[in-house]
A = this chain, B = another copy of it.
């Protein structure tokens, strides 16, 4: 059973909202994610249910099926491989790739993806540090580590925060640290564990050990 572009986009959204097919997802959440109205979502859920990529019980939200998970991961795989291509080969910036990949991921050609994968040397992560599922849908999660666990001169990228309180996020915003920022450890003070971090190759930032422990990064 083939999925349309719209169906693929919905399924991908449901997969993400379900935290990797673990929790069930509400109509309203899907509508918010897809920037459509709940009424449109109800319609689409019925179709996806008929195609057996989700399990749909009216009024009780949806759960993605095994088949649906497989399909979603294929689309995600294609999306991320294209992102790697755009950054590595076509010199796109980091934040310019998502929109285009959102279109490219729907091109139907198994051969194309197989060859692209090989051409890119079978990358395991996309430019945002997200793992690229293999052709069977298996994902290798990249270890994330807190900033205070990194050593001097190590580089990486901020991918998440442990403490996501408004106060903390506001602080990060103020000092110019954001999800996706490329960072490098310039110094670590033995005495109190405070750190000096280079952000985006231009801005130097001092932070306490407490702050550093709440910022998660991937190494590069």
Q: Which residues of A contact B (CB under 8 A)?
A: 86, 89-92, 96, 99-100, 103-104, 107-109, 111-112, 115-116, 119
> Would B100 and A112 count as touching, CB distance under 8 A?
yes
Check if A107 sits within 8 Å of B100, measured CB to CB.
yes
Contact between chains at A115 and B100 (CB < 8 Å): no
**Of B86, B99, B100, B115, which contacts A91 at CB under 8 A?**
B115
Which B residues are in CB contact (< 8 Å) with A89?
A: 119
Q: Find chain B residues with CB under 8 A from A99 CB.
A: 109
The quantity of this chain's copies bound in the complex is 2
Q: Closest 10 CB pairs between A and B?
A: A90-B115, A100-B109, A103-B107, A100-B112, A90-B119, A89-B119, A104-B107, A91-B115, A90-B116, A100-B107
List residues of chain B with CB within 8 A of the CB of A119. 89-90
Residues of B within 8 A of A108 (CB): 103
Chain B residues lying within 8 Å of A103, measured Cβ to Cβ, are 107-109
The CA-CA distance from A96 to B96 in the complex, in Å, is 30
Q: How far is the CA of A99 from the CA of B86 in the complex (A)?
A: 22
CA distance A73 to B152 in the complex (A): 53
Q: Which of B96, B104, B112 contacts A90 (CB 8 A)?
A: B112
Closest to A99 in B: B109
Can you sample 11 A-B contacts with CB below 8 Å? A89-B119, A90-B112, A90-B116, A91-B115, A92-B115, A99-B109, A100-B107, A100-B109, A103-B107, A103-B108, A103-B109
CA distance A99 to B92 in the complex (A): 26
A183 to B26, CA, bound (A): 61
A115 to B85, CA, bound (A): 12
Q: Which chain B residues lie closer than 8 Å to A96 at the CB level?
A: 111
Chain B nearest CB: distance from A84 CB in Å?
Answer: 14
* A107 CA / B104 CA spacing, docked (Å): 7
Q: How far apart sit A115 and B115, CA to CA, in the bound complex (Å)?
A: 20
Nearest B-chain residue to A114, judged by Cβ: B90
Which residue from chain B places its CB closest to the CB of A116 in the assembled complex? B90
A104–chain B nearest beta-carbon distance, Å: 6
A8 to chain B, nearest CB (A): 14
